[in-house]
Structure 1
Amino acid sequence: MFSEIYDVIVVGAGHAGSEAAASAANMGSKTLLVTMNLQNIAQMSCNPAMGGIAKGQIVREIDALGGYSGLVSDTSAIQFKMLNKSKGPAMWSPRVQSDRMMFADHWRLRLEGTPNLDFYQEMVAGLIVEGGAVVGVKTALGLKIKGKSVILTNGTFLNGLIHIGDKNFGGGRSGERASTGITEELIQLGFESGRMKTGTPPRVDGRSLDYSKMAEQPGDVKPSKFSYLDDTKPLTKQRSCYMTYTSPEVHELLKEGFDRSPMFNGRIQSVGPRYCPSIEDKINRFADKDRHQLFVEPEGWKTCEVYVNGFSTSLPEDVQFKALRSVVGFEKVKFFRPGYAIEYDYFPPTQLKHTLETKLVEGLYFAGQINGTTGYEEAASQGLMAGINAALKVQEKEPFILKRDEAYIGVLVDDLITKGTEEPYRMFTSRAEYRTLLRQDNADFRLTQKSFDLGLASEKRLRKMDEKKEKSLSFVDYLHDTSVTPEFSNPVLEAKDSAPMKQSDKIFKIFSRPNITMEDVMEFPGVNQFISENELNEEMLEQTEIQVKYAGYINKEKNNADKLHRLEDIKIPQNYDYSNIKSMSFEAREKLNKIQPVTISQASRISGVSPSDISVLLVYMGR
């Protein structure tokens, strides 16, 4: 059945596996996607949504790099929101509510339409490793499939154990069996492993809810989209979400089941996501709060199934049902299925290189929850990077690594490899020290050329980005060079309670005032004519406004990034032995020997390595 040798074998078809397979195949590598159930490709295991704070930036970066997540999100969206619009553009984060069934369906069809990509449904039970390098995989049926590289994207399936109250059973997801064999084999190869947990809320029948008692949460009046391409269009109609709250009565009913909670009776020993706690954990940790928000999210255009965001739980099903019936609007709720927690194996990501290739086995890559992350977007971005780097390695080309000032994806990978994680890692804007540079609006500026050079982005995409960049920058130059007299500017300034001008000044300087908008500037003579003659669209106008208003912050961060790059240029020899540097702290020597950073900059970001340790290291390296 499998006589040929594949360039890349991807194990698992969740968000990480799907992006990995797409990127490797689109770069010309003969790719095989192996999964336990082809009907569940790119399944949204938890909430039916993509994007959000920092995660939306990642989806736009994936799109700019030629991945599919943004395109699929746009074509399956039922609602669009730009979060944090009241804050600066570095914080703006796009989010879509998705039709769960359409999302998976559109992903599968895109993958099936991708050249160089084969599919096979079966469990991968082990790896074939020869001379310290992976050369293929073994299936549960005993088939051996040869490959030059392998990407493991097993999600929550590695020895997955599902908990509902005092009941537990093996499974990688509700209704699906766990994957066995891989963890044990990796441990034999010398890998360190651990256990993590995540959870999901009940799914309920929307026909049994009283929405009139809840607060409606509509989408944006002028919805946007994720993809920079014109292949998708913004929504013309949307479905609303709703919001309600728990209450002291609900909390008391939930507490009645705490003695049967696997979280509190010791059945679950592993660590769950800090920033997405279960409802019982919230009640326990935030005992001073008498209510918590619940977001009632439809699962699609046509289905009546509803996701109860904020009510993740592993309490017994009878306790879940009784408590949820005490929530306003849920008095007659009917369950489709109860919430549950799941424990699974992961491998601390400090065992990886920045390419996501393992340090122990050449040609073997890890992406997604196997690395200790949580979230569709985090998983998809890792899959994309692993697919790109596996393809490049097979093609004997230089690896592709994004720096921290180039992408949130660069921050994510560097955090994992350099710092590791002992709890499910989730991306936040606060993790990025250069977030003014890493905005959702300029991901195409940052990454499209890189994607084109890799062979992922089309020439059409590159031309579109170049046009947007050229026109928005020419508008910035126009505003720099063009003056306006007090006669025309003062009526606009006075209407905005802004200090009037006494003499002519450049439009750029006036536009820099915080309360002056693009609509105000368009009232000045010649501005509308420039916009019309140069055919500037809304995206270009938004880009111009950001470049004007945040010029000082952007330049400051660029200067800081340039200083960091000087340390990035100082490479550390491979397998450098830090044990003999006695003037360095013991903790620093231990961490540096374990992680083996590639540059001085990476070494400086390792927890437990102080600035004085770096100074000592520079001396030893003759710097």
Structure 2
Amino acid sequence: MFLDIYDVIIVGGGHAGAEAASASSNMGSKTLLITTNLQTIGEMSCNPAIGGIAKGQMIREIDALGGYSGIIADCSMIQFRMLNKSKGPAMWSPRAQCDRKLFSYYWRFFLEKNTQLDLYQDTVTSLIIKKNKVKGVKTYLGLKIKGKAVILTNGTFLNGKIHIGEKRIHGGRIAEKEVRGITEQLTKHFGFRYGRMKTGTSPRVDGRSLNYEKMKSQNGDIPTNKFSFSYNTKRLKKQRKCYITYTNQKVHDLIRKNFNYSPIFTGSIKGKSPRYCPSIEEKIFRFSDKESHPIFVEPEGWNTVEVYVNGFSTSFPENLQYQSLKKISGFEKVKVLRPGYAIEYDYFPPEQLKPTLESKIIENLFFAGQINGTTGYEEAAAQGLIAGINAHLKIRKIKPFILKRNQAYIGVLIDDLITKGTEEPYRMFTSRAEYRMLLRQDNADERLTPMGYHIGLISEDKMKILDRKKYKIKKCMYLFKNKNLDPKIINPILYDKKSSIIYHDKKIETILSRSDIEIKDITSIPFVMEEIKKNDFNQEVLEQVSIQIKYKGYIDREKENAKKLLKLEKLKIPNDFNYKTIKSLSLEAREKLDYYRPISLAQASRISGITPSDLSVLLIYMNRSY
């Protein structure tokens, strides 16, 4: 039935579990993904969308490394939008509405194609651990399955409790049973710390009962784009519309009158809520001066009337949810298909992990996803990919794969988690990345695909696609640096754009570097367009060249700052370094350094409470200098 022993066992089939399973198996590890329900692999438990601010960058990074989330999103997409286009390119973030059922279908489809991966439906209730090293798992049905490494991706299922008004339902998702045993084993017998967190979801409604004429339509981009750099998915020719409406004073008044019916305010919910994705009750309580809040009306797929009410996460009783929704413009005759709910679950503070996402306490045991205190499909998938890669490498005694903060948003995510921890659901934002000009969504393949190739997740064919793209960019840059624009040709465009006219020939690069000139202004010049067609420079190449020219100063400055960081990253701290004996360190520094056990001086510098003088003391005791 099972192999005598698996290389890697994945516990849980959500976004983290699916990416972990695909990574370890594609790298050559014999892998088992075990989950309570095989029909919900890659389930979109909350909103039917992938990407968004900073999250879209992570999906592109996952794809660039050889993960599947971007491909799955492309296959199931019903609308595509690039967010923040009015801002600089560091802020541009791809987002796609997806068909919920197709998303889950394609995840299972891609996983089942892998002969190195076995799937099994059962619930893991405890781990087999000997001498502080994981050896396998035990299941609800009494099975013992051996594994060299185990990755826990339990999502919201560890002692999950659902709240709808006064109702308390034990479960990890509505109508799905919670998981008991793992938290109890790790905390009681191995000293793990754990906490409780809370998240929630919105009601689903019948789209036929809504009056869209009272709402503002939100259309997808034309032409459409996609997430995957190299997978041959077709771009959408048609898209489904989304809509925006708003809450109003009547909605707010009704909710305020009934705060005492919300488990968030009655004290029934103990777990910390997401700061940046609060329930409608919390929004109205915290932002009492606001007269309205946006409500995003999102279709759940191509062939369904079900609609997700984004922005209206709630744990109110069903009837109060219904009465509140009816007061929103366009929702007067709403029919609710499923109520929203809040869910509490166990998580393990991520400071207990190494940068590889391996536990510091139990060898070969990895954690990924919401079990680490994060929120969001994208954060979970990113962690799953890294855990899957490192589980494979660890059991083969190969150097671990660790992304730095200047290399990827994924590096920022994991570094934040393990050095700062989190007491509330962690969500990625562009503001968290100090090198966000380097970590753009458009260049994720250039940054990370060579790394994916080196570890065995990227094929030779995909590397050739990247090499061709880089060659085209280099060739286009050469053209723009060396080709002159005659004043007679460019001045009408400059005049129209209210930009200073020129009196002598200027290089294309010089004109394009102006903030008020766009790439489309340059490509509107006939002889430039001829060169572009002759060299087959596509829109992706032109966009890259434009960004590199326009933002050269910013990019160069961040590269220089990243070099300085690299010096600190190279200053490794021995794992057995004894901080307690260094009396010249502050007491706080000794306690925190001993607790977090940073692997480098750079990581130590990012721990809250560690001062520059503490770092100087460390340098002296490590007998090193810059």
Quick check: 349-358 or 475-484, which moved more?
475-484
State the partner residue of 1:44.
44
Q: Letter of the aligned partner of 2:16 in structure 1?
A: A
State the partner residue of 2:310.
309
State the partner residue of 1:451.
452
Quick check: 413-422 or 504-513, which moved more?
504-513
Q: Secondary structure at the match of 2:142?
A: coil
Q: 1:602 to 1:7 in 2, by over 3 A?
A: same
Partners of 1:563 and 1:526 lie apart in 2 by: 43
State the partner residue of 1:169.
169
Quick check: 362-371 or 447-456, which moved more?
447-456
Q: Secondary structure at the match of 1:576?
A: coil
Q: Secondary structure at the match of 1:264?
A: helix
Partners of 1:230 and 1:269 lie apart in 2 by: 44
State the partner residue of 2:134.
134
Partners of 1:291 and 1:507 lie apart in 2 by: 47
State the partner residue of 1:494.
495
Shift in Å at residue 603 of structure 1?
Answer: 0.2
Q: Secondary structure at the match of 1:148?
A: strand
Unaligned runs of 5+ in 1: none
Q: Secondary structure at the match of 1:589?
A: helix
Q: Secondary structure at the match of 1:508?
A: helix
Q: Secondary structure at the match of 2:296?
A: strand
Partners of 1:495 and 1:303 lie apart in 2 by: 47
Preserved contact between residue 350 and residue 417 of structure 1 (Cα < 8 Å): yes
How is 1:210-609 mapped onto 2 (pairs within 5 angstroms)? 210-523=211-524, 526-609=527-610
Q: Letter of the aligned partner of 2:27 in structure 1?
A: M
Quick check: 513-522 or 537-546, which moved more?
513-522
Preserved contact between residue 405 and residue 411 of structure 2 (Cα < 8 Å): yes
Q: Secondary structure at the match of 1:563?
A: helix
Q: Letter of the aligned partner of 1:62 in structure 2?
A: I
Partners of 1:221 and 1:109 lie apart in 2 by: 29
State the partner residue of 1:34.
34
Partners of 2:121 and 2:525 lie apart in 1 by: 63
Partners of 1:293 and 1:483 lie apart in 2 by: 49
Quick check: 515-524 or 372-381, which moved more?
515-524
Preserved contact between residue 14 and residue 155 of structure 1 (Cα < 8 Å): yes
Shift in Å at residue 218 of structure 1?
Answer: 1.1
Preserved contact between residue 216 and residue 241 of structure 1 (Cα < 8 Å): yes
Q: Does 1:150 align with 2:150?
A: yes
After superposition, what is the alpha-carbon deviation per residue over 1:118-156, rounded to whole angstroms, capped at 9, x for unaligned? 011000010011121101001112111000000000000
Q: Secondary structure at the match of 1:228?
A: coil
State the partner residue of 2:122.
122
Shift in Å at residue 357 of structure 1?
Answer: 0.3
After superposition, what is the alpha-carbon deviation per residue over 1:79-112, rounded to whole angstroms, capped at 9, x for unaligned? 1000000011111000000100111011111110
Shift in Å at residue 307 of structure 1?
Answer: 0.5
Shift in Å at residue 396 of structure 1?
Answer: 2.0
Preserved contact between residue 472 and residue 541 of structure 1 (Cα < 8 Å): yes
Partners of 2:270 and 2:519 lie apart in 1 by: 54
Partners of 1:446 and 1:326 lie apart in 2 by: 48
How is 1:39-78 mapped onto 2 (pairs within 5 angstroms)? 39-78=39-78
Q: Letter of the aligned partner of 1:339 in structure 2?
A: G
Shift in Å at residue 523 of structure 1?
Answer: 4.9
Preserved contact between residue 71 and residue 231 of structure 2 (Cα < 8 Å): no
Preserved contact between residue 199 and residue 278 of structure 1 (Cα < 8 Å): yes
Quick check: 528-537 or 318-327, which moved more?
528-537
State the partner residue of 2:18.
18
Q: 1:140 to 1:515 in 2, by over 3 A?
A: same
Q: 1:318 to 1:547 in 2, by over 3 A?
A: same
Q: Letter of the aligned partner of 1:383 in structure 2?
A: G
Q: 1:342 to 1:525 in 2, by over 3 A?
A: closer
Shift in Å at residue 487 of structure 1?
Answer: 3.1
Q: Secondary structure at the match of 2:590?
A: helix
Q: Letter of the aligned partner of 2:229 in structure 1?
A: Y
Q: Letter of the aligned partner of 1:49 in structure 2?
A: A
Name the TM-score, length of structure 2 as normaliser.
Answer: 0.98
Partners of 2:524 and 2:316 lie apart in 1 by: 60
Preserved contact between residue 484 and residue 505 of structure 2 (Cα < 8 Å): yes
Partners of 1:155 and 1:582 lie apart in 2 by: 42
Partners of 2:160 and 2:39 lie apart in 1 by: 19
Q: Secondary structure at the match of 2:178?
A: coil
Preserved contact between residue 294 and residue 311 of structure 2 (Cα < 8 Å): yes
Q: Secondary structure at the match of 2:141?
A: coil
Partners of 1:47 and 1:415 lie apart in 2 by: 25
Quick check: 415-424 or 493-502, which moved more?
493-502
Partners of 1:486 and 1:295 lie apart in 2 by: 48
Quick check: 79-88 or 491-500, which moved more?
491-500
Q: Letter of the aligned partner of 2:130 in structure 1?
A: E
Preserved contact between residue 155 and residue 369 of structure 1 (Cα < 8 Å): yes
Aligned residues: 623
Q: Letter of the aligned partner of 1:619 in structure 2?
A: I
After superposition, what is the alpha-carbon deviation per residue over 1:469-521, rounded to whole angstroms, capped at 9, x for unaligned? 11112211222223333233323222221112232232211110111122322
Preserved contact between residue 228 and residue 444 of structure 1 (Cα < 8 Å): yes
Shift in Å at residue 582 of structure 1?
Answer: 1.7
Shift in Å at residue 585 of structure 1?
Answer: 1.5
Preserved contact between residue 77 and residue 99 of structure 2 (Cα < 8 Å): yes
State the partner residue of 1:186.
186
Q: Letter of the aligned partner of 2:338 in structure 1?
A: R
Q: Please report the RMSD computed on the Cα atoms of aligned residues, expressed in angstroms.
A: 1.1
Partners of 2:224 and 2:500 lie apart in 1 by: 34
Preserved contact between residue 254 and residue 320 of structure 1 (Cα < 8 Å): no
Shift in Å at residue 230 of structure 1?
Answer: 4.4
Shift in Å at residue 304 of structure 1?
Answer: 0.6
Quick check: 531-540 or 238-247, which moved more?
531-540
Shift in Å at residue 609 of structure 1?
Answer: 0.7
Q: Letter of the aligned partner of 1:578 in structure 2?
A: Y
Partners of 1:200 and 1:170 lie apart in 2 by: 16
After superposition, what is the alpha-carbon deviation per residue over 1:348-386, rounded to whole angstroms, capped at 9, x for unaligned? 000000000000011000000000000000000000000
Preserved contact between residue 484 and residue 524 of structure 1 (Cα < 8 Å): no
Partners of 2:146 and 2:543 lie apart in 1 by: 50
Preserved contact between residue 99 and residue 301 of structure 1 (Cα < 8 Å): yes
Quick check: 88-97 or 207-216, which moved more?
207-216
Q: Secondary structure at the match of 2:6?
A: coil
Shift in Å at residue 185 of structure 1?
Answer: 0.6
Partners of 1:573 and 1:67 lie apart in 2 by: 32
Partners of 1:575 and 1:277 lie apart in 2 by: 42
Shift in Å at residue 524 of structure 1?
Answer: 5.1
Preserved contact between residue 256 and residue 319 of structure 1 (Cα < 8 Å): no
Q: Letter of the aligned partner of 1:106 in structure 2?
A: Y
Shift in Å at residue 525 of structure 1?
Answer: 7.2
Partners of 1:386 and 1:3 lie apart in 2 by: 22
After superposition, what is the alpha-carbon deviation per residue over 1:149-177, rounded to whole angstroms, capped at 9, x for unaligned? 00000000000000011111100001100
Shift in Å at residue 535 of structure 1?
Answer: 1.3
Preserved contact between residue 49 and residue 95 of structure 1 (Cα < 8 Å): yes
After superposition, what is the alpha-carbon deviation per residue over 1:553-605, rounded to whole angstroms, capped at 9, x for unaligned? 11110000001100111010112121122222211111110000000000000
Preserved contact between residue 257 and residue 316 of structure 1 (Cα < 8 Å): no
Partners of 1:522 and 1:93 lie apart in 2 by: 24
Partners of 1:198 and 1:540 lie apart in 2 by: 40
Partners of 2:485 and 2:280 lie apart in 1 by: 58
Preserved contact between residue 297 and residue 307 of structure 1 (Cα < 8 Å): yes
Q: 1:3 to 1:451 in 2, by over 3 A?
A: closer
Partners of 1:565 and 1:270 lie apart in 2 by: 38
